[in-house]
Every structure is written in C-alpha cells, then in structure tokens.
Structure 1
Amino acid sequence: MRLEKKATVVSSSVATVLILLKLTVGILSGSIAVLASAIDSLLDLTVSLFNYFALHNAEKHPDDKFHFGRAKLEPLAAVIEGTIISLSALFILYEAISKIVHPKAMQHMNESITVMVASFVITGFLVFFLSYVAKKTGNMVIKADALHYKTDIFSNGAVLFALVAIQYTGEYLIDPILGIAIAFYMIYSAIPIVKEGVLMLLDVALPKEDIEKIEEILKNEKEITTYHYLQTREAGSHIFISYHLVFNVSISLYDAHLISDRIEAKIKALFPDKKVHILTHMDPYDDSDINEEEEEW
C-alpha cells in the first residue's frame, strides 16, 4: 500500500475515534461547542474516506476508457476538500455570529474541556504525520488533508481556550469571537489548495524554474539541431512533457532513438518523486513555422 493511502487510513481512523469521543461526551454534557466539534470531525471522516477513494483510483493504470489514467482525481479531490473547508468556515462564521446575537450559557465545562484537550493532542500528532507524508510524497491530496486537520488544531485549541476562559471569567463572548477568527483563517488557508487544484485540472504548465531546467538539458544536447513545441502539464503525482527534437536529416532512426532516450532519462531525473511521461517527436527538419501557420487556420 502506498504511503499516501496509509495516511488516509490513519486519518480516517483518527476521525472516527474523535467522532465517538466528542459525540458521547457532547450528548452527555449538553455542550454545544463539543457537539459542533463532533460534527466537524464527522466532516473530516467524510473527506478522509473520499481522499482514500481518490488515491486508490488515481493510481490505477490506463485502460480503454481512461487512456491517460485517472491522475486528475488527485487535484479534483484537493479542490473538493478546499471547498469543504471553506464551507465549514462559513458555517462556523454563521454559528459565531448567531452566538453573539443570541448568547447561550454553557454547562458541564469540565467534561467538555477534557474532551477538547484529548482532541487537541490527538489531532496534533495526526497533523505531524500527514505533514511528513505530504513533504515526502508531494501529494496534493495529503497536503490538503494536512491543512484540513491543521485548521482543526486551531479550532480545537480555540474551543479549549474559550471553554477555560469562560469557566474562569463567565464571559461567553469569547467563544464566538474566536470562532470568527478561525473561520477567516480557514478560508485564507483553503484558497491556495483550491487554486492549485483548479490550475492543475486546467493543465497549467510546470513552474518556470522546472521548464528552464528542461530547456537547459535540451539546449546542451549537441546531437540535436534544435527543439521546439515544449509543452508541460501536471496531474497529481504525474508529469506530462512533450517536445519536438530536430535531428540532422542523415541520422539513422536507431541513433535518433538512442539520443531521445538519453534526453528523456536526464529529464526524468529532474523529478525523482514524480511519474514522468515524455512524448518525443523526432523531426528531420525544423517544421515549427509550418505548424504555426496551420494552427492559425
């Protein structure tokens, strides 16, 4: 099992434990804050299960229906998760404003505080693990999942702080004010995840520095005359690159293939943690001008 899939299994298991813990104590204590946190954990479980489904299907090999595989499920999952985070933030914002307009007293504070301390610690360990997996694999889905649970750390911490402060001060406005701050932070954090996922779905090119590295390899290859039509795109953990190499008209097809294979190996070495797919067009002369005229038509 891939490390990314193991991470989704771990996050799903943790979310399940937190749901059972918070629901039980929340119902027994009657704490609205803890019950709201339980609903948030239920959302976390739904997202983690969806991420597992996305990663499981994204790694399937190409078939008759999906000739290029299902790699775009990863950015699609990231967009969905970022959207869910934003919607959750809007719900929290709504609840916070409602509490300001209609303040409610809270009961059974000790039980609620105990649950939130446990949730804060467990979620902290989970974020550390997911961040490690995201950094090691560069996977967008795990990166979004880590962000999701990182926002939970802030929300759990804020709820915990609010509960303790309310218990000692009796000031119930602390809870909704912190809720508003968390909501804006969640939206701010979700925007880059959604943006990156949407751009990947639209086949955005690789970053400029990566393209420059590819061009450097092509320019330094003495066995080709020139190159043109360098195109790149990324889909999850897959990178797709295509270009035209111009050879001397007298070169044999065998030698041209050997040179092309050598160039492809150099380019793939630039992305050791990615699955790189390269399409090489071997031209006997520079046909870029001719093809540009045809595209204009």
Structure 2
Amino acid sequence: MRLEKKATVISTSVAALLVLMKMTVGVLSGSIAVLASAIDSLLDLTVSLFNYFALHNSEKNPDDNFNFGRSKIEPLAAVIEGTVISLSALFIFYEALVKIAYPREMNFMTESIWVMSASIIITAVLVIFLNYVANKTKNMVIKADALHYKTDIFSNGAVLVALGLISMTGEMLIDPILGIGIAIYMIYSAFPIIKEGILMLLDAALVEEDIQRIKDVLESDVATTDYHYLQTRESGSHIYISVHVVFNVSISLYDAHVVSDRLELKIKELFKDKNVHIIVHMDPYDDSEINDIEDAY
C-alpha cells in the first residue's frame, strides 16, 4: 500500500475516534464550540474516506477510457475538501448566531475540557505524520488533509480556552463568539486549497520558476538551435510537458532522437518527486510562424 493511502487510513481512524468523543460530550454539554468541533471531525471522517477513494483510483494505470490516467481525481478531492471545510464553517457560524440570540446553559464542563485536551494531543500527532507524508510524497490530497487537521488544532485549542474561561467566569457568550472566530479561520484556510485544486483542474501552467528551469535546460543544449510551443500542466502527482525543439536540417533522425532523450532526462531531474511526461517534437527548422498563420485560419 502506498504511503499516501496508509496516511488516509490513519487519518480516517483518528477522525472516527474524535467524532465519537466530541459528539458525545458536545450533545451532553450543549456547547456550540464543542458540537461544532464534533461536526468538523465528522466531516473530516467523510473527507478522509473520500481521499482514500481518490488516491486508490488516481494510481490506476491508463486504459481505453482514461488514456492519461485518473490523476485529476486528486485536485478534485482537494477542491471538495476545501468546499466541505467552508460549508462546515458556515454551519458553525449559523449555530453561533443562534446561541447568541437564544443563550442556554452548558453542562459537563470538566468532561468537555478533558475531551478537548485529548483531541488536541491526538490531532497534533496526526498533523506531524501527515506533514511528513506530504513533504515526502508532494501529494496534494495529503497536503490538503494536513492543513485541514492543522486548522483543527487551532480550533480545538480555542475551544479549550473558551471552556476554561466559561468555567471561571460563567459568561456563556464566549462560546458562540469563539464559534464565529473558528468559522472565519476555517474559511480563510480553505481558500488556498480550493484555488490550487481549481487551477490544476483547469490545466494551469506550472509556476514561472519551474518554467524557467525547463527553459534553462532547453537553452543549454548545444545540439539544438531553438525551441517553441513550450506547454506545461500539472495533474495531481503528474507533470505534463510538450515542446517543439528545432534541430539543424542536416541532423539524422537517430541523433535528433538521442538529443531529445537527453533533454527529457534532464527535465525529469528537475522534478524528482513527480511523474513527468514529456513530448518533444523534433523540428528540422523553426516552423512556429507558419503554424501561427495556420492557427489563425
């Protein structure tokens, strides 16, 4: 089993444990903050299950129906996860406003404090593990999952502080006000995940820094005279690159092919943690202007 899939299995198990703990105490205590945290963990559980499904399918080999594989399931999963975070934040925001309008007492304060303390410790260990996997694999789904659980640490910590303050002061408004703060932070954290996933689904080019590194490789090879139509895109853990390389008209097809293979290897070295797919069109002369005229018609 791939490390990424093991990570989703572990995060799913942890989310299930946190849901059971928080939901029980949240319902019994009547705390909006604890209940919001329980709902967030329930969504974590759902998202982690979906992430496992996404990673399981994204690693399938290309076939007759999906000639380029299913790698775009990964950015799709990231967009869905970011959207789920945002929707759960809106629900928390609504529940907080309801409690401000209709205040109610909280019970089982001691139990709530202990559960939230345990949740912070468990989630922190999970985040450390997910960050390790994300840095090692560069997987977008795991990166999104790590960020999601990282927001849980802050929200759980805020809930714990709020419970402590409520226990000492008896001021119930602290609970819904904190819930509003958590909701805003969750939406703020979800935006980069959604943006990155959408850009990948739309086949956005690689960042300018990566494109320049590719250009440096193409321009450094003395066996070629020029290049044009450099196109790049990223899909999950895969990078796709297409370029027209111009050779001297007298070069043999064999020699041109050897040079193209050399360029491919050098470019792949730039992205060691990714699956790089390169198409090099071997042109005996610069036909970019001719093709531009044809495209205009």
Match of 2:14 in 1: 14
Q: Once the 2 structures are TM-superposed, how far is the Cα of residue 25 of structure 1 from its aligned partner?
A: 3.8
Q: Indicate whether 1:228 and 2:228 are aligned.
A: yes
Q: How does 1:59-208 map to 2 (within 5 A)?
A: 59-208=59-208
CA distance in 1 between counterparts of 2:266 and 2:260 reads 10
Task: Report the AA paired with residue 69 of structure 1.
Answer: G
Q: Deviations over 1:107-165 (max 9, x none)?
A: 11111111111111101111111112112222111111111111111221122111111
Q: Deviations over 1:8-40 (max 9, x none)?
A: 111001011112222344455565543443222
CA distance in 2 between counterparts of 1:165 and 1:77 reads 38
Task: Report the AA paired with residue 155 of structure 2.
Answer: S
Q: Once the 2 structures are TM-superposed, how far is the Cα of residue 45 of structure 1 from its aligned partner?
A: 0.4
SS in 2 for 1:112: helix
Q: Deviations over 1:215-265 (max 9, x none)?
A: 111111110121110000000110000001111122111111111000100
Could you say what the CA RMSD is over the residues aligned between the two structures, in angstroms?
A: 1.3
CA distance in 1 between counterparts of 2:162 and 2:246 reads 67
Contact 2:30 2:105 in 1 (8 A): no
Match of 2:264 in 1: 264
Unaligned runs of 5+ in 1: none
Task: Report the AA paired with residue 135 of structure 2.
Answer: K
Task: Report the AA paired with residue 294 of structure 2.
Answer: E
Instruction: Identify the range of structure 1 (85-94 vs 268-277) with the bigger mean alpha-carbon deviation.
Output: 85-94
SS in 2 for 1:68: coil
CA distance in 2 between counterparts of 1:178 and 1:24 reads 20
SS in 2 for 1:269: helix
Q: Once the 2 structures are TM-superposed, how far is the Cα of residue 44 of structure 1 from its aligned partner?
A: 0.6
SS in 1 for 2:231: strand
SS in 2 for 1:76: helix
CA distance in 1 between counterparts of 2:27 and 2:88 reads 21
Match of 1:213 in 2: 213
CA distance in 2 between counterparts of 1:183 and 1:150 reads 14
Q: 1:53 to 1:23 in 2, by over 3 A?
A: same
SS in 2 for 1:239: strand
CA distance in 2 between counterparts of 1:196 and 1:108 reads 42
SS in 1 for 2:278: strand
Task: Report the AA paired with residue 155 of structure 1.
Answer: S
CA distance in 1 between counterparts of 2:295 and 2:271 reads 31
Unaligned runs of 5+ in 2: none
Task: Report the AA paired with residue 76 of structure 2.
Answer: L
SS in 1 for 2:276: strand
Q: 1:34 to 1:187 in 2, by over 3 A?
A: closer
SS in 2 for 1:185: helix
SS in 2 for 1:285: coil
- The alignment-based identity, stated in percent, is 73
Q: Once the 2 structures are TM-superposed, how far is the Cα of residue 169 of structure 1 from its aligned partner?
A: 0.4
CA distance in 2 between counterparts of 1:271 and 1:106 reads 54
Task: Report the AA paired with residue 266 of structure 2.
Answer: K
Match of 2:42 in 1: 42
Normalising by structure 2, we get a TM-score of 0.96
Contact 1:32 1:106 in 2 (8 A): no
Aligned length: 297
Which segments of structure 1 move beyond 6 Å, counting only runs of 4 or more? none
